[in-house]
Amino acid sequence: MRLVRFTPLLLGFVLLMPLTATAQVLDGKSELAANAAIQYWQAFALMPALDKDQEKIVGEWSTVSLDDPAVKKLLETSHNSLMYLHRGAALQKCDWGLDYNDGISMLMPHLGKARDLARLAALDGRRAFENRNWKAGRRDATSMMVLARHINRDPVMIALLVSLGIEGMVVDLVAPYAPDIKASHTDAVTMFEALPPPVTLERSILFEKKWMGGWIVPHLKAEEARQKGAGLELWGKFLDGDAPASLKNMTTIDEVIKLVEDGIPIYDDLARLAALPNDQFAAQYPVFKQKIKAEHPLAALLLPAIDQLRAKEQRNHARLAMLLAGIAVVESGQDKLKELKVPFGPYDYRALDKGFELKSKLLYEGQPVILTIGRRK
Partner 1 sequence: MNDHNRLESELAALRPHEPSPQLGQRIADELNSNAPAQARWRSSRAWWSGAMAGGLIAACLAAGLLLGPAPGRNQELAPPLAPLQLPVAVAFDDALPTVWTYNRALSRSARDFESVLDKHAAAASAAGGAAPHLFIQSDMQLLLQGEL
- Interaction site with partner 1 (CB under 8 A): 5, 8-9, 11-12, 15-16, 45-50, 55, 77, 80, 101-109, 111-113, 115-116, 156-158, 161-162, 212, 219, 223, 234, 237, 240, 304-305, 308
Query: At its nearest, how many Å lie between partner 1 and the CB of residue 83?
Result: 12
What is the smallest separation between the CB atom of 336 and partner 1, expressed in angstroms? 35
Nearer to partner 1, 109 or 286 (CB): 109
Instruction: Closer to partner 1 by CB, 158 or 342: give it.
Output: 158
User: In Å, what is the CA distance from 136 to each residue of 23, 62, 81, 123?
Assistant: 33, 17, 15, 12
**What is the closest distance, in whole angstroms, from the C-beta atom of residue 29 to partner 1 in the complex?**
19
Residue closer to partner 1 (CB basis): 80 or 133:
80
**CB closer to partner 1 out of 107 and 194:** 107
> Given the complex with partner 1, which of 229 and 333 has the nearer CB atom?
229
CA distances from 219 to 225, 229, 239, 248 (A): 10, 13, 16, 18
Q: How many CB atoms neighbour CB 2 within 10 A?
A: 5
Phi, psi of 216 (to 5 degrees): -70, -55
CA 128, CA 66: separation in Å to the nearest integer?
Answer: 10
Asked if residues 329 and 377 have their Cβ atoms less than 8 Å apart, the reply is no
- Minimum separation from the CB atom of position 166 to partner 1 (A): 12
DSSP string across 214-246: HHHHHHHHHHHHHSTTHHHHHHHHH--TTS-HH
- At its nearest, how many Å lie between partner 1 and the CB of residue 296? 15
- Is the separation of the CB atoms in 310 and 288 below 8 Å? no
> Minimal distance in Å, beta carbon 98 to partner 1?
10
Radius of gyration over every alpha carbon of the chain, rounded to an integer in angstroms: 26
Q: In angstroms, rounded to a whole number, what is the distance separating the alpha carbons of residues 253 and 239? A: 14
Query: Cβ neighbours of residue 53 under 8 Å, at least 6 residues apart?
Result: 70
Shortest Cβ 222–partner 1 spacing (Å): 8
Q: Nearer to partner 1 by C-beta: 7 or 249?
A: 7
Of 195 and 239, which has the nearer Cβ to partner 1? 239
Identify the helix (H) or strand (E) that includes residue 139: helix 134-151
